[in-house]
Amino acid sequence: MRQLPLFLLLVLVLFIGAKRSPSAEEQHAIAMHGTPKYAAGFRSFDYVNPEAPLGGTLRLSAIGSFDSLNPFLLKGVSPRGIGDVYQSLLYRSRDEPFTLYANIARSIDVAPDRSWIIFHIDPRARFSDRRAITAEDVLASFEVLRDEGRPNVQGYYRKVTKVEILGTLAIRFEFEEDGRYEMPLIIGLMSILPKPAVTNPDFTKSSLTPIPGSGPYLIEKIEAGRRIVYRRDDNFWGWHLPQYKGRFNFERIIYDYFRDDDVALEAFKSHNIDARFEHSAAKWANAYDTSDLHTGYKMTTPKLQIPAPMLAFVFNTRREKFSDRCVRQALTLAFDFEWVNANILYGLYQRTESFFENSPLAARGSIPAVVRDLLSPFKPELPDAVFNDVFYLPETDESGRSRENLRRAQELLAEAGYVVDAGTLRHQETGKAFTIEFLVNNSDYIKLIAPFQRNLDTLGIQSTIRQIDTASYQNRLTNYDFDMIINSWGQSLSPGNEQAFYWSRDAAATPGTRNYPGIRLASVDMLIEKIATATTRDTLVTATRALDRVLLWGYYVIPLYFTDRQWLAHWPEIKLPVTPSFWGTSPDLWWYE
């Protein structure tokens, strides 16, 4: 047999090593469910201005300080904006629930059951030092983030059972069966770093030495803890890709750090800062001068189309006094949201009535038949209301409804075995007084608790507020050492494996999770599995609405408030696209004019 020339032999070996499975098809994008919105070769995202001019400087503010330029570790505090220095294998669009497009990876192959994915790296992809990105860099990034990265990242990446380099520009990941349907997308969002940087022992240390990236901006200058300046990289390898059209338009972006937000606000008003997102209802209502918006700054409110965070008072059901659902429902009746919104929040908020508020994932109205079928096997552990009633939170007005709510709360507390003795609520069998300690590390929350305390006092419940430093607060949360806290859970339009970290029985018994209420229900575990393994959008939506219904009727939290708008103040030379994304707007979409 005639021997093949050496170079042909090498080509053949590379082809065999990186060949695709016959059951997979090369793709430019992957959607969690359904079909990607944007076809191959699309021009730009719909929420950008593809004709946005380049140039100018954007000056933004940040509060606090920073002491590390490594955003991938739990150690240290990294600066705002540093994510623009790095890239991931795939890129997420912001006007779809969860779809990723070709980025560092020019294309992908995915198993029909999502048990594996192959990333084919774009041969043009380069780090900022012009070194080519290879499969070796991907593997090194994965290994260091799996072993040394943030805890949530480590948890995801440990679901990878095998990584195999198929060639210089091809790498394959295989996944364990549990929650695998989401894992190809999770790995697609992994930031890719240079192998020499991540294999250096110093990578695991907090440092102000920049790590080379492959993104559209470079770190130009830092003043430790006070200022960071990013410069647009004209040599960025990916400017030709459609997801970068109309984005990252400023020549420079500067973040100035302030110790106090009031000082940062004054810096904006004096035009030393170009734009700021406002998070205080009091400031948005009172601190901005809107008398002459033609020559001064503008105030805009882009609409959000993603689930609003569940901000809520949280009951720790590990405490005996909160183990009874009647008690939790009674205390929910005692919170007067309408008074708080009118007198403290300037009427700028709406009441949160779902763990997936402001989205199609929220449970509304009567229970659908498909949800009833899901939950019927778990009737013994669920209240009848889950199956028979429409969930709603108590309201108050000037007609005396607040007094009616408190009377109903007293009835529920009596059902739970509590009686008022000389003005103090006590358990009728043990005689123990009902007391609550609100644990906080944010003084802004005290103004929300104080009016609640007045109604609790009416019920005979003694309550105190204990404010502690951040480190002590985190330690007590880690060990679930509290009566009640105020906490926020963020959600996405495509919930997945993170729900186990929030609500599962395993999480309830594991220190350091976010199952702060201590929920322990077999029905919830079943729904979490349904969500994590859903192969269609309809299945995901049904399971999520069922989970929402169970959580709401359990009265594990007292929901507070949300807004479906961003509050953005900016000077006129900073321009925004007309159409916001599901996430509203952000600096990468703006331009200087």
Q: Please report, for the domain that includes residue 366, its CATH number.
A: 3.10.105.10
Answer for the pair 41, 243: CB distance below 8 angstroms, yes or no.
no
State residue 11's pLDDT score: 41
Q: Extract the tokens encoding 377.
A: 């096997």
Q: Give residues with Cβ within 8 angstroms of 300, minimum separation 6.
A: 568, 569, 570, 576
Report if residue 293 sits inside a domain.
yes
Q: Please report, for the domain that includes residue 88, its CATH number.
A: 3.40.190.10
Residue indicated by tokens 């330690």: 475
State residue 7's pLDDT score: 41
Please tell me whether residues 295 and 317 are part of one structural domain.
Answer: no
If you write DSSP's letter for every residue of 547-585 in order, what string do you get? Answer: HHHHHHHTT-EEE-EE-SB--EEE-TTEE--SS-BTTB-
Q: How far apart are CA 260 and CA 512, in angstroms?
A: 30
Please tell me whether residues 297 and 334 are part of one structural domain.
Answer: no
Report if residue 19 sits inside a domain.
yes
- The helix or strand, by DSSP H or E, that contains position 484, with its residue range, turns out to be strand 484-489
| Phi/psi of residue 299, nearest 5 degrees | -120, 115
Report if residue 45 sits inside a domain.
yes
Crossing angle between the packed helical segments 446-458 and 401-415, to the nearest 10 degrees: 70
State residue 19's pLDDT score: 47
Please tell me whether residues 375 and 518 are part of one structural domain.
Answer: yes
Range of the structural domain that residue 363 is part of: 310-399+438-445+462-561
Q: Extract the tokens encoding 520.
A: 């322990």
Q: State which of 154, 181, 204 marks the end of a domain.
A: 204
Specify which residues 230 forms β-bridges with. 219, 253
Query: Three-class SS of residue 263?
Result: helix
Specify which residues 121 forms β-bridges with. 105
Q: Sort residue 365 into left (φ over 0), alpha (ψ -120 to 50) or beta.
A: left
Please tell me whether residues 299 and 337 are part of one structural domain.
Answer: no
Number of domains, the chain: 3
Q: State which of 163, 183, 204 marks the end of a domain.
A: 204
Report if residue 3 sits inside a domain.
no
Strand residues in 193-297 grouped as ranges (E): 217-223, 227-232, 252-258, 275-277
Report if residue 466 sits inside a domain.
yes
Q: How far apart are CA 48 and CA 331, in angstroms?
A: 46
Please tell me whether residues 292 and 355 are part of one structural domain.
Answer: no
**CA 135 to mean position of chain CA atoms:** 29
- pLDDT in single tens digits along all 593 residues of the chain: 344 454 443 343 344 344 444 445 689 999 999 999 999 999 999 999 999 999 999 999 999 999 999 999 888 889 999 999 999 999 999 999 999 999 999 999 999 999 999 999 999 999 999 999 999 999 999 999 999 988 888 888 999 999 999 999 999 999 998 778 999 999 999 999 999 999 999 899 888 999 999 999 999 999 999 999 999 999 999 999 999 999 999 999 999 999 999 999 999 999 999 999 999 999 999 999 876 555 689 999 999 999 999 999 999 999 999 999 999 999 999 999 999 999 999 999 999 999 999 999 999 999 999 999 999 999 999 999 999 999 999 998 765 578 899 999 999 999 999 999 999 999 999 999 999 999 999 888 999 999 999 999 999 999 999 999 988 999 999 999 999 999 999 999 999 999 999 999 999 999 989 999 999 999 999 999 999 999 999 999 999 999 999 999 999 999 999 999 999 999 999 999 999 999 999 999 999 99
Report if residue 240 sits inside a domain.
yes
What is the per-residue burial (b if ≥16 Cβ within 10 Å, else e) of 173-194? bbbeeebbbbbbbbbbbbbbbb
Answer for the pair 477, 485: CB distance below 8 angstroms, yes or no.
yes
Please tell me whether residues 318 and 228 are part of one structural domain.
Answer: no
Q: How far apart are CA 450 and CA 463, in angstroms?
A: 10
| Phi/psi of residue 282, nearest 5 degrees | -60, -45
What is the pairing mode between strands 435-440 and 462-467?
A: parallel
Q: State which of 147, 169, 204 marks the end of a domain.
A: 204
Q: How far apart are CA 203 and CA 141, in angstroms?
A: 11
Specify which residues 228 forms β-bridges with. 222, 255
Please tell me whether residues 388 and 497 are part of one structural domain.
Answer: yes
Please tell me whether residues 172 and 276 are part of one structural domain.
Answer: no
DSSP state at residue 191? B
If you write DSSP's letter for every residue of 296-348 in order, what string do you get? Answer: S-EEE-PBP-SPPPEEEEEE-TTSGGGSSHHHHHHHHHT--HHHHHHHTSTT-
State residue 25's pLDDT score: 62
Of 186, 104, 134, the residue nearest 18 (C-alpha): 134
Q: How far apart are CA 276 and CA 268, in angstroms?
A: 7
If you write DSSP's letter for every residue of 114-133 in order, what string do you get? Answer: SSEEEEEE-TT-B-TTSPBP
Answer for the pair 103, 88: CB distance below 8 angstroms, yes or no.
yes
Residue indicated by tokens 């997420």: 92
Q: Is the pTM of this model over 0.75?
A: yes
State residue 398's pLDDT score: 61
Of 588, 581, 492, 580, the residue nearest 85 (C-alpha): 588
What is the pairing mode between strands 57-63 and 252-258?
A: parallel
